[in-house]
A and B are shown apart, each in its own frame.
Chain A
Amino acid sequence: MTTVLSLEGVHIVQKSFQQVIIRGDGKEQFNQMINKELSITPPSKNLEITLSDKFLFAKHSFNQWSLCYLKEQSYKDVLKFISNINSRDEILASDYSYGQIYFEVSGINRNEFLNKLTHFDLRTKKFPDFTLAQTIIARIDCSIYNLKDKYIITCNRSFEDYFKERLKDTAEIY
């Protein structure tokens, strides 16, 4: 965990999570399979998040989920989970543990700060707690997980330097 910036009402730290992208039909068998492996049921509504001590499970679209490990696992265990899931033809699980970067954004001014970089409507009535959004921040594709008092923002790893520079630049001229 590294602090990227901290200013009045905005605190941003970079975190790393292991992540698996899961595709499937979301039906009973699919849910059972996931539940058997992780003891958690995938969220059923689009853009919904299920949060536990260990996992952040989010439904990105009608047949796509992302699973973030909130506590670091042995990488072999993650790969084993993927292998087990992929033993079924009707599911595709892809390792994305190091393909994305993660920023935790907290503080009372976080919406105003982020709205310097995105047009997305972050108000609770439009972006309820424990939902996710897939949108553009600083002109790149990002996902925002709304965890009530903070956001987790993810984007592709290759944009790491650019994205961090944009965040810092925004803070400098805030």
Chain B
Amino acid sequence: MSASDNKNCPYVNIHQKISIIFDGKKYSAFKGDTIASALLRNNVRLIARSFKYHRPRGIYTCGIEEPNGIVQILSEHNEPNTRATVKQIYDGMEIDSQNRWPSLKFDIGSINNLLSPIFSAGFYYKTFMGPKGFWKRIYEPLIRKTAGLGKPPKEFRSKSTHQNHNVDVVIVGAGLSGLIATRKLIDTEHEVLLIEQDSFLGGVLKNSYKVKKINGQKINIWLKETEELIKNAKNIKILKNSLVTSYNFTNHLIALEDKFAGKKINSNKSELTLHKIRTAHTILANGHIERFISFRNNDLPGVMLASSFEKYIHRYGVIPEINPVIFTNNSTTISLLKSLINLGHKPAAYIDARNETEIENELLEYLEKNNIPFYKDAEVEGCDGNKEVQSISIRNNKNEIIKVNSSMLCVSGGINPDIHLFTQSKGLVKWDNNLLTFKPDVPFQNTITLGSVSGNYNYEKTNEEISNKLSFLKAKIEDIKIEINDINNFNIKELWETQHEKKSNWSKSFIDLHNDVTTKDLKQAIAEGFDRIEHLKRFTTNSMGTDQGKISSINSLGIVSKLLNKNISEVGTTTYRPPYAPLSFSAIAGRSTYEFYDPQRKTPIHNWHIKKRAVFEDVGQWRRPWYFKKNEAETMHQAVQRESKQTRETAGILDGSTLGKIEIKGKDALEFMNLMYTNPFTKMKPMTSRYALMLGEDGMIKDDGIVCKISDTHFISTTTSSGAPKVLADMEEYLQTEWPHLQVYVNSTTEQFTTFNISGPKSREIMSKVFSDVDFSNEKFPFMTFKIFNYMDTEVRIMRASFTGEIGYEIYISPKHSLALWEKIFDYGRDFNLVPYGTEAMHLLRAEKGYVVIGQETDGTVTPIDINFSWMIGKKKKDFIGKRSLTRSDTAREDRKQLVGIIPLDKSQFIEEGQHVVECKTLPRMIKTPVPYLGHITSSYHSPNLNHCISMALIKGGNKLMGTKLFVSTPNGTKNIPVEVVNPVFIDPENKRLVS
């Protein structure tokens, strides 16, 4: 007994032979085959090993619901956990089975099956509780090592893309219902997206023999005509090879398209497309899933769902076994029977659990006419064989066990509407006592279910159902007459598990093949008190993981309801979780990986920095020069020390373009600025600037910057680089919500101005050379003033300000003119030893001067008072954001953490940022009780100008601890560094250099 080809199948190309390699062995197959159909064609039954017990497993289904046939595609960068039943093959595809060692036939892991009597439900929960310490050191590492299926993929760079769609109607599934619905929407006002997971449209029409004719036409002719009509319709788009995996809120669906279905991947092109679909209406026409029946050894390779067997015949042109045994409890298997007979084959036996009065006359006559061994009111007790089915034990209606030899057993335990997507959309389902399944009841979103997913198993009534349900869309009225080969009145007998003889401890009756859960596990869970379905699911792992119990969840409800003596509707159902089928992280990430992981912002001077060997750091999304390497050998430390020293000795220039800039204007601009910032601006003279502080309503420092006052009605503010969008948004929010009476407008001008910060003793001379018309003397251009003047056909704003403590200027110019100006400054600056410096030197220089950085010295819990910025608070101001909070008892108390300077007593020692400031000389080796700590180091650098480490710290009551000796912890070891608390201004506390 073996497989045979159905040469009439139009969906595989029997004239195009290709080959695949499975577990190192070459097999020939046809173009259009899946891995599963190709292996079945070659009589390969053993495909995989099960998850927990490593039991031999074969192909069970013919679709995405496959629980067993999960393989690893070696030729696709080791892609693991691929369902063999949907993955189409191409010539030379290399596939390996997984979860076995050393080979599929001889798997050491199958020892788990021998030990299975002790691996019952809850084994892990009960076993790994003790002894203390074992979990961390032994159990967890061991379980992690053995857990999981397949090997991780090889390193590769996915080119998965995303595609967004906005449509009026999405139709999921291009089977009979989906196609009729689509036909009715041709040339209507609706934009329609039809999604089909297969390469061909047709669903049940191409998968089975159930439908005979449509409108008097043969099925293939009707399908061809329909596809042409749909293709030519301007309002309809078809997505093939695309599986809808998620149905999210507000009619948002996710579908995954395999761009290379049946083809070798071209690594230059996108292999997967993740479709993100937003729609007004969703039509679910995604059909049904057949379920199995639990019996002894119902997992042996050779046991297959009946409709899947039929699909292999019609869709893939392979008859997996010419004389299988059919076991059913319902009326749907007649079409499989007819399919086999039509091809000249005969089942070895037909077992129907129903009694004669329940079985359709048509079926009885057909069985008799074809002389097929028939067992009514009977069931399969179990099956036996070495790594595949060899004999099937039938319990007849006289309770006798009869053995039939066959290598395949086709099982049908009924059909379930495929409600996974419907329940993902939060639709409610209800139990149908006639169909013995849950079916959609009340949709939560704009969802319409059609055909078998709605519980309509009568194909003849499909057109009527669709016409009624789609009438509100003003769908076309088209009479579609469907003739069937099937029985039009679905009939089923309740049967979840058959009665079996206990043959051995290793014979199992499975309820969840994917997770290796047996019916015994369900019984045990209930016996232990897990009688709620959600608890039971988690205790046994039944219906969990990527499978979500597609072929078994209803069966488990059936068994549980019997055990609890309840109706299934009372037991309820578990929630089907998205995604419907697994999708890779690369598909989710799309192109937002590697170079596109995070959008990058560059300043207009970026390319110049590259030429000068800048090493960049990420500041928000900005790429900022961190430091400039003088030569390849220079280290970061050397570069930063050099840049800092040279800036203090001659001059340095920083690309500060990333600073936020906001223009504020309106008749109430002065009042607005007084409210937004702590500083008073009323008496501030026009064309002067001021370092300003912005607080949150909690009184904590939020941002800082320099405010330039052009007039009482016009200001320009700078912000921190990363704070710019938030500050602008806050300004807008306050204007629109808190102070709508103020006539003020704000514009971000961050991108319109490139900013350079030049500072150092020689900066005035350089500026005088570059801008020869401007008088930079102290008298004409004092500290914290600014000028706006014409330059190179544009306007330049120069402000005298400094973030280094040296005399300095900030230059603002449009990006178009900025590079020319930057280069000109360097041309003139060469004689003065001008050096470009990066953000690290900037931090070092400002720390020497005791200037704070928002986000480094502050962390959202620091007030201006804490960092000795009381002088920045307008005491006479009526109000500003955060004012009230500054007088709260907690913000006003004297023992809050305050900003201080820290220097090591031994000047050769270096203090690390983030370390704790403590009062003890050493830390205990094992910290059993928390060590009292005073605060932490916020900034720390080696000052090239002082030639020792300087640090800033926030410590409790810091202002009163000046001169005190404390200790700072180190990253390694228990010995702390002795330090002295000092004023945080390390260089030029009198500001002589700044205002010189």
Contacts and interface: CB of A to CB of B under 8 A. Distances in A.
B253 to A, nearest CB: 13
Contact of B743 (A90, A94, A138): A90
A126 B743 contact: no
B165 A90 contact: no
Contacts of A86: 665, 714
A34 B683 CA distance: 33
A34 to B, nearest CB: 14
A90 B745 CA distance: 8
A68 to B, nearest CB: 14
B601 A156 contact: yes
B279 to A, nearest CB: 11
Interface in A144-174: 156-162, 165-166, 169-170, 172-173
Interface string B263-294: 00000111000001010000000000000000
A96 B749 contact: yes
B745 A95 contact: no
A169 B622 CA distance: 21
Interface string B728-764: 0000000000000001011101111000000000000
Contacts of A173: 159, 161, 268-270
Nearest to A163: B599
A164 to B, nearest CB: 12
Interface stretch (B203-211, B588-596, B869-877): B588-596
Contacts of B749: 94-96, 99
Question: How would you classify the secondary structure of chain B's contact residues: helix, strand, loop or mixed?
Answer: mixed
Contacts of A116: 161-164
Interface string B800-820: 000000000000001110000
Contacts of A159: 599-601
A120 B601 CA distance: 23
A119 to B, nearest CB: 4
A40 interface: no
Contact of A94 (B163, B592, B604, B747): B747
B765 interface: no
Nearest to B275: A115
A158 B602 contact: yes
Contacts of B750: 99, 156
Interface string A86-110: 1001111011111110000000000
Contact of A98 (B591, B599, B743, B816): B816
B727 to A, nearest CB: 16
Interface string A22-49: 0110000000000000000000000000
B660 to A, nearest CB: 12
A167 to B, nearest CB: 11
Interface size class of A (residues with CB under 8 A): 35 or more
Given A166-B591, A170-B161, A173-B268, A21 B665 contact: no
Contacts of A169: 591, 596
Interface in B660-684: 663-667
B718 to A, nearest CB: 15
B599 A140 contact: yes
A89 B794 contact: no
Contacts of B88: none
B793 interface: yes
Contact of A157 (B165, B666, B751): B751
Contacts of A134: none
A92 to B, nearest CB: 4
A170 B164 CA distance: 13
A157 B604 contact: yes
A119 B714 CA distance: 39
A158 B794 contact: no
A126 B664 CA distance: 34
B603 interface: yes
A97 to B, nearest CB: 7
Interface string B700-744: 000000000000011000000000000000000000000000010
B795 interface: yes
A92 B163 contact: no
B166 A126 contact: yes
A165 B595 contact: yes
A35 to B, nearest CB: 19
A155 to B, nearest CB: 9
Nearest to A114: B164
Given A116-B163, A173-B161, A158 B751 contact: yes
B384 interface: no
Interface of A: 21, 23-24, 63, 75-76, 79, 86, 89-92, 94-100, 112, 115-116, 118-123, 126, 138-140, 156-162, 165-166, 169-170, 172-173
19 contacts: A79-B795, A92-B664, A92-B665, A92-B747, A94-B663, A96-B752, A99-B750, A99-B751, A116-B162, A119-B166, A119-B278, A158-B601, A158-B602, A158-B751, A161-B600, A162-B602, A169-B591, A169-B596, A173-B270
Given A115-B165, A123-B166, 11 more contacts: A24-B745, A75-B794, A89-B665, A90-B667, A94-B752, A96-B752, A98-B816, A156-B601, A157-B604, A162-B599, A162-B602
